[in-house]
Structure formats: structure tokens, C-alpha cells
Amino acid sequence: MDILTSSIILASIAWTCILISRARKLSKLPPGPYGLPIIGNILHLGPTPHRSLAKLSHKYGPVMSLKLGSITTVVISSAETAKLVLQKYDSSFSNRTIPLASKALRHDEFSVGWLPVGSQWRKLRKICREQMFSAPRLDASEGLRREKLQKLRDFVANRCESGSAVDVGEAAFTTALNLISASLFSAEFARFDSESSQEMKEAVCGVMKSVGSPNFADYFPLLKPADPQGLLKAAELSTGMLFVKLDEIIDEKLKSRGEKRDLVEALLEINQRDEAQLSRDDIRHLLLDLLVAGTDTSSATVEWAMTELIRNPHKMTKLRNEIKSFMSENGKQQVQESDIPLLPYLQAVVKETFRLHPAAPFLLPHKASSDVEINGYIVPANAQILINVWASGRDSRIWKHPDEFLPERFLNENEGVDFKGQDFELIPFSAGRRICPGLPLADRMVHQMLVTFVENYEWKLENMKPEEMDMNESFGITLRKAIPLKAIPTKL
């Protein structure tokens, strides 16, 4: 046998082994619905993919595979399997699949949300943990946040006096924007009913919508240069608007160094000491992450909480009575951030809102760095992983009456469950090494905004009964109400 023939035989054997290995891997993929040629299962997503995929998981199980164009996607729909992905095999699933829209102005190259796990990512996480979200840092900036909450009180009082409705999501957005900007910059970004607030909201929501919308260019990489849906272009426009504002703040801080001590000051100090450690681009993109993610998700959660409380007025009364009793018994005019652990029903209302209406129904997408076996199936390397926390929040095996708004469950059978990343049946901020770094601030903001809305007012709807409210959702990275909540505050 000559050398050429031997080489051909060996190559044929090797190729056969590769095909057999690939066939075995495909045969061990998690089950899932059959897809159409080329587009695969894209049509299965529908306008509300979190609901569509939750329904499919009832048939195919908590580990389900789909083909979205050329992208193999594995959907995780239960607390048990989420724990495997985010805890047991965390190191294999910690990286991200990168949506095209997140590449706007090279954001994915600097973002703590999109960077792969590595030295740069660890550095930024450490800065978030130590410079922004440590308890001493948050305690030091509480006074600034109280000022912004007072402006919300004044705004609602004015609307009450005039008998006009409050756009709750809009008011919560402006407040969240100012709470975050106060903590980050010692500054105020927007005013109620102002054009600047509306522009900022449009920019922030524009980023979130562009990144969160299903994009054919992500499913078919050959389409990326064409950007057929214009989502990258839209993200670049919104991101650019935010960068203009952030650059103004950074430049102003550079001119007046030492006057105040906030996050930007701390970041600029690192930058001035060693630009290689933290560049201006690092700072701009980190601030963008914190501003966009924190504002949109926190305000959406407060809007959903108020929606559910208005639909359930006896629960609104129960929450208000707890707040009033606490302040009376402790001789306080206002609830402070340190008081939140002493208000169990308030905490239960927030947890129940996170369960029913998680701000990010799929979290951010993960990516498998190697083949991993889960529940007897192979999750292949490079597969996109979506964790459907909306589905696990409505799992009847865990939650009694899962479609009902019942905060009391967190005072009774689910009393020990929290949203800090240890209880996988409730992980609106994710878990493991990719848990949201802003959780400590969001925790304070959501509770305090809700207290401000509830403590002194009854709320009524215009021309409809509470049970007639539209509860449909507008899908994106953030799950917002499709029709904004507008209600009239009435002084008690």
C-alpha cells in the first residue's frame, strides 16, 4: 500500500470519526420543536418569547434546544436547571453571546455586562463592588437619594392637588434616573415633565430595546454588515446621545476635582494615577452600563408593583398600614433605607413583583465555552443559553397559585426565599459570577420608590375599573407594561 493510499484511508477514518462524534452530539441535544429550513425555530418566538418558550417547555422540558437561524440556543426554564448553569457549571457558562446592537460604539469591548470573564472584567467588577456598591459607599450617598425621593413626593402631591393623573412608569423612571445619577455623579439628570427627562428616557429605552429585540442579523451572521432591521444604527444613536451627557459630566468633574466625592471622582482618581488601569473609555462605558441597566429595570419593577397593588387594593392598604404603623411606632417622618429589613410586607410585595414580572425575563444571554452535560443532554460549545426566569417564577411545582399576586407567600411557605442570588427560584438579578453588580443599589431604590408612592395616597384609574387594566407586556431586555400605568393620587 503506497503512502498516498494510506493517507487517504487515514483521512477517511478520521473524517468518519468526526461525523460520528458530531452525530452523537446532535443526538444528545436537548429536545425541542422542529424548525423550518434555514430559519429554524425563529417563528416559535412570537411577540412575547418569554411566554412562548415557557409554553414550549411544558412539552419539551426544562432544558430545551432551538435553532434560531444558525444559532443553537438552549433554553433553561426551571430553578433546578438554572442552578446547574449558574452555580455547578458556572465557569463553563459565564461568557456571553454578543447581540449585534450591543456592539454600538464598541460598547461590548468595554462593558462589564458583555465582556468575557477575564482580567478586564474582574477589574471592573472590583471597581463596582468597592467604589460604588459597597454598603459604606451607599450609606454615604443616602442623603442625596432622599432629596430625589422628596422631589417625587412633591410631584405626586402637585398632581393630587390638581386632580390629574400620574404616569407612574414615567415618574418612576425620572426618579430612578436621578437616584442613580445622584449616587454616581452627585448631580440630577432630569426633572419631572421635562423635555430633558423624556430625551434621556428615550435614549435609555432605545439602548435596551435595540439590544433586547430579536435581530435577524444575530441569527444569520452574514446579515450583520447590512443591519437589515436597523437595530445597530438605532443603538448607536441612543448610545451616542448618552455618551454626550456622560462626557459633559466627566469634563466638568475634571475641571472641579476635589469638590465632591462620588463615583466619577473615584474613577477619575484611578484614571489619573494609571490610565492603563482605567481609561476614559472604560469610565464612559461603565457609567453607561450602570445608568442604563439600573434606570430601566428599577422603574419597570416599580410600575409593575403599583399596577398589581392598584388591582389588589386590600394589599395596597395592608402595605400602607405597615408603613404608617412603623413610622408611628418609631417616631419617624420617613422610611430610611436602613428600615427596609424591618418592613416584611414591603419586602414581600417587592419579591412578589420580581417573581411575577422579572425586569429581564431571560437575564442576559450566556454562552457555553465547552460541551456540558445537563440532565443527560449535551449543551454544545458555543451554544447560546437563555435562562427563562419568567417561566421559573410561574412554576406551579414551586409556587402555589403561580399566576396570582400574593405577597403573603413570602411571609408563609416561601418565607426564606430571597432574590440575592442564592435561591434559584427567584433570580431576577441572575446568580453566580454574572450576578448584577448593581443589585445593592437597586434593592434600596425599588423599596424606597414604592414607599413614596404608597404611603400617603389612594390611587384610582381614569374611566376604568382596576380589573380592566391591560396587563400585556412590551418585550425587550426589560419587560415593561405595554400600556403605561396612569393613575390619580387621592390624599388619605
Mind spelling out the 3-state secondary structure of the chain?
A: CCHHHHHHHHHHHHHHHHHHHHHHHHHCCCCCCCCECCCECHHHHCCCHHHHHHHHHHHHCCEEEEEECCEEEEEECCHHHHHHHHHHCHHHCCECCCCHHHHHHHHHHCCCCCCCCCHHHHHHHHHHHHHHCCHHHHHHCHHHHHHHHHHHHHHHHHHHHHCCCEEHHHHHHHHHHHHHHHHHHCCCCCCCCCHHHHHHHHHHHHHHHHHHCCCHHHHCHHHCCCCCCCHHHHHHHHHHHHHHHHHHHHHHHHHCCCCCCCHHHHHHHHHHHCCCCCCHHHHHHHHHHHHHHHHHHHHHHHHHHHHHHHHCHHHHHHHHHHHHHHHHHHCCCCCCHHHHHHCHHHHHHHHHHHHHCCCCCCCCCEECCCCEEECCEEECCCCEEEECHHHHCCCCCCCCCCCCCCHHHHCCCCCCCCCCCCCCCCCCCCCHHHCCCCHHHHHHHHHHHHHHHHCCEEEEECCCCHHHCCCCEECCCCCEECCCCEEEEEEC
- Tens of pLDDT, residue by residue over 89-126, are 999 999 999 999 999 999 999 999 999 999 999 999 99
**pLDDT score, position 11:** 44
Cell of 286: 461603565
**pLDDT score, position 257:** 66
Reply yes or no on whether the pLDDT at 150 is more than 60.
Answer: yes
What are the extents of the domains in the chain?
A: 35-474
**pLDDT score, position 26:** 53
**pLDDT score, position 130:** 86
**pLDDT score, position 3:** 53
**pLDDT score, position 209:** 84
- The architecture CATH gives domain 35-474: Orthogonal Bundle (1.10)
| Residue 374 phi, psi (nearest 5) | -130, 125
Query: How far is 395 from 375, CA to CA, in rounded Å?
Result: 18
Task: Please state which of the ranges 60-64, 130-134, 186-190, 452-456 shows the lowest mean pLDDT.
Answer: 186-190
Provide the mean pLDDT of the chain: 90
Q: What does R_g of the chain's alpha carbons equal in angstroms?
A: 24
- 448 contacts 145 by C-beta, under 8 angstroms: yes
Cα 250–253–254 angle (5° rounding)? 85
Q: Which residues pair with 480 in a beta bridge?
A: 474
Task: Please state which of the ranges 38-52, 253-267, 296-310 shows the lowest mean pLDDT.
Answer: 253-267
When pLDDT is cut at 50, 70 and 90, the band that residue 275 belongs to is confident
Cell of 329: 411606632
When pLDDT is cut at 50, 70 and 90, the band that residue 205 belongs to is confident
Mean pLDDT of the 312-334 span: 96
17 burial type by CB count under 10 A (0-12 exposed, 13-18 middle, 19+ buried): exposed
CB atoms near residue 438 (< 10 Å): 23
Cell of 438: 448593581
Reply yes or no on whether the pLDDT at 86 is more than 50.
Answer: yes
- Tens of pLDDT, residue by residue over 124-142, are 999 888 888 899 989 988 9
Reply yes or no on whether the pLDDT at 277 is more than 60.
Answer: yes
Reply yes or no on whether the pLDDT at 4 is more than 60.
Answer: no
Q: Which residue has the higher pLDDT, 110 or 198?
A: 110
**pLDDT score, position 492:** 83
Mean pLDDT of the 248-261 span: 76
When pLDDT is cut at 50, 70 and 90, the band that residue 477 belongs to is confident
Q: Which residues pair with 385 in a beta bridge?
A: 74, 366
Reply yes or no on whether the pLDDT at 20 is more than 70.
Answer: no
- Tens of pLDDT, residue by residue over 393-412, are 999 999 999 999 999 999 99
Reply yes or no on whether the pLDDT at 87 is more than 60.
Answer: yes
Q: Which residue has the higher pLDDT, 195 or 426?
A: 426
Q: What is the pTM of this model?
A: 0.91
Reply yes or no on whether the pLDDT at 9 is more than 60.
Answer: no
Reply yes or no on whether the pLDDT at 43 is more than 90.
Answer: yes
When pLDDT is cut at 50, 70 and 90, the band that residue 255 belongs to is confident
**pLDDT score, position 201:** 77
